[in-house]
Amino acid sequence: MSDDGSGASATLSITADLAGTASAEFEAALAALLDGLGRNGLRFLSGPGGTVSDRDRTVGTVVSWEAGREVRIEWRPAPWNGSLACELRLRSEERSAGCRLRWELVGWERVLAASGNDVAEWVGGALLPACIGRLTPGSLSDWITDTLARRPSGRRSRETYRDPRFHWPNFFLLLDRIGLSADDRLLEVGCGGGAFLGRALESGCRAVGIDHSPEMLAVAAEVNRAALGDGRLSLHLAEADRLPVASGEFTCVVCTGAFGFFPDPSGALREMRRALRAGGRLALFSATAELRGTPAAPEPIASALRWYDADEVVGLCRDAGFVDITAEAPDLEPYARRAGLPDDALPLFRGGRGAYLVLARAAPPALAPGNVPS
Ligand SMILES: C[S@@+](CC[C@H](N)C(=O)[O-])C[C@H]1O[C@@H](n2cnc3c(N)ncnc32)[C@H](O)[C@@H]1O
């Protein structure tokens, strides 16, 4: 029963029975809520007395906070009437096996009634279509691809990319081939959680990492705190085809595990070329279609990727102003052993069919028309 005397009441409730402990699943759900609100432009200052803000307006206030068990947020969605509030609740309880999580939105019928709208209209016309819209094949595939690989976010991706165990063979190969020294200025495009940068910086080089995932840059900053602190590394949120760097600033550009996601691959290569000084080296590492559908590139991520063969990438590099271009199909097994990967993972890295490495150098800038010898 609602307290407006009308007798109308409505609760939106989603329940999930999960295998983990009540407190662990609660913390995971709360962290996901925090991330999700953030991605929708809302800022959640969590903890007792915390708030949720939409730009400079407070839309939610934490009215109950039991760590690991329950959070209740009073939600005020109607700025034209400050007394209209509903409540968002997240609760977790132990079950005989695992736990039950419950998300609830309570009391919003009052908010709707005050503006002359009704619950069925809002649920059927606004709320459910928005939820179901997230369940269409395209939307679900995009969400999975984005959160796991194309623009990683969430707890699982933060953990994975902090130390991407199965990417270390690629990193070792790249480091072998580019031979960094303290004189190098390295740019990594699509740097993820910064694990490659961390190892590269051991050469004494200076480096810049670019990624379009804010969460990945936050992980990269944690992983490379010391290098950031002493100014040897900087990290920037940017798209690969609009690099926020000066022309000719770098001696080496690396891009690994990211090229197939770029919407404008030619634009990205032109930007990498621009970032390099003449003679600077490019190393571009990517999986081949041989890995499509394997644990290295599972669906739906595999279908979202653009699969290039090495010849196509060589052509794109030439068009973007690179010279001395070579492509190899490296046998990654020795590098996988060096990375300490388990024996049953080694076949994925064996035989040079699963990946290509394109190496190239930046051509000198074209002579300006006034400089062309007559
Ligand atoms: C599969 S992860 C690989 C991360 C890292 N290079 C590694 O090998 O562990 C791909 C990364 O490329 C980034 N990325 C994808 N498309 C991008 C774009 N257009 N501009 C900038 N970064 C991009 C993603 O955010 C993600 O961090």
Q: What's residue 5's pLDDT?
A: 57
The answer, yes or no, to whether any atom of ligand 1 lies below 6 A from the CB of 192, is yes
List domains and CATH numbers for the chain. Answer: 11-133 (3.30.530.20), 158-364 (3.40.50.150)
* Average confidence (pLDDT) per 10 residues, the chain, 374 residues: 61 94 95 90 93 94 96 92 91 95 93 86 92 92 96 93 97 98 98 98 98 97 98 98 98 98 98 97 96 93 95 97 97 97 94 93 67 41
Q: How far is CA 277 from CA 246, 251, 272, 315, 322, in A?
A: 10, 6, 10, 21, 11
Place of tokens 């910086």: 201
Smallest CA-to-CA distance from 210 within 184, 232, 243 is with 243
Residues in CB range of 275: below 8 A, 6 or more apart: 187, 243, 245, 246, 247, 248, 249, 250, 253
Residues 173/332, Cβ–Cβ less than 8 Å: yes
**pTM > 0.85:** yes
At 263 the pLDDT is 97
The secondary structure of 199-261, three-state, reads: HHHHHCCEEEEEECCHHHHHHHHHHCHHHHHCCCEEEEECCCCCCCCCCCCEEEEEEECCHHH
Distances in Å between the Cα of 47 and the Cα atoms of 30, 34, 44, 365, 374 are 11, 11, 9, 55, 73
Q: Which of 142, 144, 145, 151 for a ligand 1 pocket mutation test, highest count of atoms within 8 Å of Cβ? A: 151
Nearest residue by C-alpha to atom 25 in ligand 1: 151
Would you state the pLDDT for residue 292?
Answer: 93
262 lines ligand 1 (CB under 6 A): yes
What is the predicted pLDDT for the residue at 58? Answer: 93
185 CA → ligand 1 middle, Å: 20
Given ligand 1 and candidates 147, 213, 217, 259, which is best to mutate, with the most ligand atoms within 8 Å of its CB?
Answer: 213
- How many angstroms separate the CA atoms of 175 and 206, rounded? 15
